[in-house]
Each structure stands twice: as C-alpha cells, then as structure tokens.
Structure 1
Amino acid sequence: MKKKLLAVVIGAAAAMPMMASADVSIYGRVHMSLDHLDNGNDYKEVNVSSNSSRLGFRGSREVGDITAFFQIEQQIDFNEGTSSFAGRDTFAGLRGGFGSVRLGQFDTPFKKARGPANLFGDQVGDMRNLTRFGNARFDERTPNTFHYATPDMGGFGVNIAYSVHEGKEAIDGADGDALSTSLTYKQGPVDTALAYEKFEADTSRGERDAVRFAIGYKVVDAVKVVGFFQTVDYEGDTPAVNDALTSDTWGLGADFKIAPSTYIRGMWMQRDSDADDTQSDLYAFGVEHRLDSALRVYANYAWTKNDDNVAVTPWSQARSASPNGSAGDSAKGLSAGLRYDF
C-alpha cells in the first residue's frame, strides 16, 4: 500500500505543470480522531481513526456558454499512510444554462439528501450507522453513473442519476441497474430534500428501494433544528432476512451556536425493522470549535441501545476504526477530532 501511495504522490507531482496551465486545483481534507470505543461486551479500546480523509484534483474550462469540468478524488487513510486512487467521487461533465450533466462514480442524489439533517457526518454518531444497514444500504457511491441536475429554480432543484450498476449490462438478461432521484429546496431558513432510490434484483446486494426525507430549519441565526425519515423495502433474500432489512429510520436533532465559533449539537435516531427484537436507538452529543474557516476541533459522545438481535455501533461508518458491535448490548464511543480542509 505504501508503494501505491508513493505512486500517487509521484504522479501528482509530475502532473503539476500541466495542471497549472489547465485551470486545475488541488483540494482535500485531513480528518483524524482519537476514540475510546466500547461495544458493551468484550471490546474496550483506544483507537486512532482517519475519517473520510481525502485528496482530490478538479478542473474546468469555459467554452462560450458551456463549462467542461472534471474531478478525481481518492481516500487517504492518514492513520496508516494508505490510499485508494480515484476511489471516491470521480467524474467528468458539462454545465450551462440547462443545468449540468456528468458521468462517472459519485454520491447518489439519495445519499446527498441526508445533508440537511446531517449533524455528525464522518464522526462518531454519524446517522449512517443506522441508515446504511447491511445489504439494505443506500448511502452509496455508484459506478457507471449518468447524472442530470437542473439549474436553480427559485431554491428548488431536481437530480436524476441512473447507474449501469457494477457493469452488469454486459451479462445478457441481467437486471443490475440503479435509479436515484431527489427534489431539494434551499431558501432562507429552510433546507430540505426528498429522495427515492431503487436497486434492481441482480445488483450484488439484492433488490431494494427506499424513500428519504431530511429537513433543517434555522429558528434563529444561532439555532437550527433538523428532522429525518427513511423507509426501506428489501426483497433480495429469504423472508427472514428481508424482514430484518426492511425498516423505518427516523430522528430529530438540534445545533446551537453558543459563541461566534463554537457549536453544541445533539441528535436522537431510531431504526426499527419488520423482524422481532431488531430496534436500535442512536444518541449523539458534541461540541465543535472552528479555529478558522478551514480548521476545526471537536469532541463527541455517542451510544447505541440495541435489541437482542441487532449489534449496531455509533462508529462503524466512514471511519477507519470500526470494531464490531455485540448483539443486544449498548455500544459507546467517546471521540476527540480535528478536521482541516484545504
């Protein structure tokens, strides 16, 4: 892996002269945390975690009223010094008065629709620990995808993405595509999204579809309240598995600006499936201080309360430190983190 990372660095350095003349910029995020994780049973350890840290290259070129653009983004695990080149949002496209179109691999509109209510993204307490569950998962970055986004329409926007998922179109008769759509509205104090996504029967995790709604509302400048709801219908396995993965997830939270650069926030969420004894509750509380627009530090405490047949943790998603949970036990995580965007 170190050789792969070295190759990425050398390749980036060799490309610098060309980038300088082609309107290309380098960006990224270093997001590290020190965590104490307790699965409620036999695991109680301190971990160092890299949390969706990334390095990317993006560029654009205007030709008349049309702008061509591209992005190449990869995950960098700073805790181990490893990299996966172009494994994150990587695409090329065109934009203009008609909106934008792009082709590649990137977050679906459904995944991005959690944004208005996402108070603990890439941290201990991330809502994806409940919404991105087992094979009935929807917070995905699909390959082989075409995406169209409308221009802003008085705060409204429509997104449609179609994926020839996993290249299954090469197999005669295979039904392996995915469709993701969203309707968004962001104006004044309101930020909201309604999304639908469907994966066909021959995708690797099976047939499933879901609806998601998220809203954030600024009561006053210093107070924002959020709400979230998701319902999933899974049909890709046996009746028992289908019941365990068919679920509803909902939650409420709030974010308070208590000083010019300091925030406190909290959220409660619950996931309940059609199977018996599979309910999980997630509680998260945190404080964040922004040293400037690019650098922030934070501390979070989050825990899950699980029924006997489920082992959800508050730390399994978007983080390199992800030990297993224990069915029927409460899992707890205490995290101190630093995030630097460049």
Structure 2
Amino acid sequence: MYMGIHKMNKTIIALATAAAIAAPVANANVTIYGKVHVSVDHVDQDGSTVWNVMSRASRIGFKGTEDLGNGLSLIWKAETTYDFSDGSAWDSARNAYIGLTGDWGTFLYGIHDTPFKMSTGKLDLFADTLADNNSTIGFHDVRADNAIAYISPNMNGLTVAAAIIAKEGQHSDTGLADAYSIAAMYSNNGLYLSAAYEDLGGPGNSIDHVSKWRVGAGYTMNAFTLNGIYESRDRNNQGTQNHWQVQGGYSFGNNVAKAMYGVSDSLNDSNKSSWALGLDHKLSKRTSAYALYVDSEHNLASEMGCDSPCAGDGFSFGMIHNF
C-alpha cells in the first residue's frame, strides 16, 4: 500500500513539475521553426574543379504573437542563419523584428527583407540553390537593417508594401528615411504581378549607392508554371545595368521539373547569360530532395559579394527539411 502511494506521489510531483515548466512556454505563444538545406556541389570555376558541401540559407527562428484586443495583435520574430555544413552555430542575422498587425495591415521595425526583395521572392524556382537568380543573373536583393515597414492587407488580390531605412550616420546619412523601398503585388487565380522601386541612398549595409526598379510576372495553370523578372539598376551613377530571367516548371506526381534562362549586362556592356535545369522530388510534406545543373558564362562572386562558389558551371544535389 505504501509503495503504491509513494509511486502515485512521485507521479503527481512529476506532472506538476512538467506543467510548471511548460506553462510559461504555452503562455508566451512562441513557435520554434526552421529549415535545414544542405547541398553537395561539383563546380567548375576558372578552370578549377571544386567539390563543396554547402549549407544554403539554413535557419532557425522563433516567433510569436500576443492578442492586444480590439482586433490588434503584437507580433515578433527572431531568425538567424545556422550553418549545417561548417558548424557555425549562429551565423548572419535574418529577419528579426517587432510590430503590430490588424485589419489595417502590418507595421514592423527591425531587420527585414525590403519590399523590393519581397516583390519577386516567390518567382524564383531555384531559390537558395547554386542556380539562385541572385548569384547567376545578378539580381540585387537586400535584407535591410534598421527598417521601418508597412504591409497592407490583401485588397482583392492587391498588396502594397513600403519601408524606410535609417542609415544611422553612415556616410553622413542621418535621417530616418535615408533609403526607401516600395512594392505592389497582385495575386489572383494563378496570376502574379509585381512592380517595385528601391533607392538605397549612400554607402551603407556594405553596398554602394544603388537605385533600381523591377517588375515580375508569374502564371500557374494546372501543372505548368511560367515566371519572369526584369530589373534595371543604376550603381554610383556609372550607368544602367539590366537583368532579366524566365523560369518554367512542370509538376507531375511528387516531382517538379524546372528550367531557367537569364541574361545580365555589366557596366562594360558585355552580356552574360546563365541557364539551369533541375528536378525536385518531394519525399514528404516537409522534406524534399533535388538535383540541378547550372551553366554560367561568368562567376558573379566578386561582383556581387556573395559567398564563393556564388555561381558557375556545375551539378548540385541537395536535401531540404522544414520544421
């Protein structure tokens, strides 16, 4: 009898302890999420063949909301890169902010993708891979520090976003809106259209003065998807650089076959083209594997400042798991 009561008391204590530990987490409404994306790449750059194991925008994040009443909620997010290939536990910062949301839209401030970047993010079928359109074509996307942003609610398919960026005294830029970014995005019945403009002011965020505009379009009908992006960019008033890319995808079963072709011009007026073929295979709802081949006439690693290998001719085999 004593042993039975003793065991029951231990069980009650254990349950009470677990409840006490879990209660703050439950009350905080915190969600832990992330992505593991690692690829094995065989790349030919400048006549040299290199094997690489790359962690590609792998991340871990925490986010939460708090109901403030009257349809108003506080939102926050803290997300950082986690390198699954080289062991850097906490690498470069990703989106991290605090804000308010309601029927009127969302207001936030912190670190966030600019509306310019947001406008065509969904149009890159090769995002975060060796054939990513930023590295192969040279599209210029920014995740801005010190951003103050507003994103409108969905208005019959139309969403508008705007952000101002404080440079905090960098290169004599001391205003609240030393740089700014605006975008309009429309989505309805498989059609997606976007237009965006961005002026990044003087040197800051490790980039020179850049102003640019971009348009994007995508259409999905049954198993077929066709996307296109065009960007015109002026850097340091040295002339205009133009970049465009088209992508297509076909879904069958748990697979997506995809292709892309794009052209960019540099300041010396030499056009540079890239193309890629790929196949994605969904292993489960949250896990997928892929293989791709990319052929590029150039390597933009030095020009755009991205991690080497940024682009090149080669094969890539990767796995992605979302949690």
Shorter-normalised TM-score: what interval?
Answer: 0.7 to 0.9
Closer, same or farther in 2 for the Cα pair 1:21/1:168, shift >3 Å?
same
Match of 1:120 among 105, 126, 133: 126
2:300 maps to amino acid: V
User: 1:275 matched to which residue of 2?
Assistant: 268
Residues 1:18 and 1:253: Cα distance change in structure 2 (over 3 Å): same
Assess if the C-alpha contact under 8 Å between 2:39 and 2:53 holds in 1. Answer: yes
Instruction: Tell which structure's C-alpha radius of gyration is larger.
Output: 2
> Aligned residues, how many?
299
Residue identity opposite 1:248 in structure 2: N
Q: 1:208, CA displacement in angstroms?
A: 1.6
Offset at residue 71 of structure 1 (A): 0.2
Match 1:250 to one of 229, 244, 248: 244
1:214 corresponding residue in structure 2 = 216
2-side partners of 1:111 and 1:157: how far apart?
14
Deviation string, structure 1 residues 131-174 (Cα, Å, up to 9, x no partner): 547xxxx3111111100011110000100000103x22795768
User: For residues 183 and 163 of structure 2, what CA distance do their matches in structure 1 show?
Assistant: 9
Q: Which amino acid aligns with 1:286?
A: G
Partner-residue secondary structure (3-state), 1:30: strand
SS at match of 2:244: strand
| 1:139-218 alignment, distance < 5 Å | 139-165=141-167, 167-168=168-169, 171=172, 177-203=178-204, 204-218=206-220
Where does structure 1 lack aligned partners over 5 or more consecutive residues?
1-14, 237-241, 326-330
Q: 1:160 to 1:332 in 2, by over 3 A?
A: same
Amino acid at match of 1:223: F
2:103 is aligned with 1:97: yes
**Which residue in the other structure is 1:3 paired with?**
none
Percent identical among aligned pairs is: 28
Name the CA distance, whole Å, in 1 between partners of 2:136 and 2:309.
16
Give the conservation status (yes or no) of the 8 Å contact 2:138–2:243: no
CA contact under 8 A between 2:124 and 2:247: conserved in structure 1?
no
> Do 2:137 and 2:245's aligned partners in 1 also have CA atoms closer than 8 Å?
no
Give the superposed CA RMSD. Answer: 2.4
8 Å Cα contact 2:130/2:310 also seen in 1: no
User: Of 5, 28, 37, which residue of structure 2 is paired with 1:31?
Assistant: 37
Q: Which position in structure 2 is the counterpart of 1:11? A: none
Shift of 1:129: 1.2
Shift of 1:19: 3.1
C-alpha deviation, 1:202, in angstroms: 4.3
CA gap of 1:85–1:66, structure 2 versus 1, over 3 A, is farther
1:303–1:170 CA distance, 2 compared to 1 (3 A): closer
Q: Are residue 21 (structure 1) and residue 21 (structure 2) matched?
A: no
**1:317 offset after TM fit, Å?**
8.3
Distance of 1:173 and 1:262 partners within structure 2:
50
Distance in 2 of aligned mates of 1:233 and 1:303: 26
- Deviation at residue 36 of structure 1 after TM alignment: 0.3
Work out the CA distance in 2 between the residues paired with 1:58 and 1:151. Answer: 20
Name the structure, 1 or 2, with higher relative contact order (CA <8 Å, separation 6+): 1
Aligned mates of 2:174, 2:158 — CA distance in 1 = 38
Match of 2:315 in 1: 334
Query: SS at 2:116's partner residue?
Result: helix
Corresponding residue for 1:301?
A: 293
Q: Which residue of 2 aligns with 1:62?
A: 67
1 CA distance for matches of 2:172 and 2:56? Answer: 36
SS at match of 1:226: strand
Q: Distance in 1 between matches of 2:86 and 2:136?
A: 27
Q: How big is the shift at 1:130?
A: 4.4
Distance 1:211 1:68 in 2: 32
* Other-structure match for 1:239: none
Q: 306, 319, 323: which is aligned to 2:309?
A: 323
Distance 1:88 1:16 in 2: 28
Residue aligned with 1:83, SS: coil
1:7 matched residue in structure 2: none
Alignment pair present for 1:262 and 2:248:
no
CA deviation profile, 1:207-242 (whole Å, cap 9, x unmatched): 221011111101x21001111100001126xxxxx2
* Structure 2 unaligned residues grouped into runs of 5+: 1-20
By how many angstroms is 1:124 displaced? Answer: 1.2
Go from structure 1 to structure 2 and tell me whether the alpha carbon gap of 1:323 and 1:129 turns closer, same or farther (over 3 Å shift). Answer: closer
C-alpha contact (below 8 Å) 1:33/1:336 kept by paired residues? yes
Cα contact 2:55–2:85 (8 A) shared by 1: yes
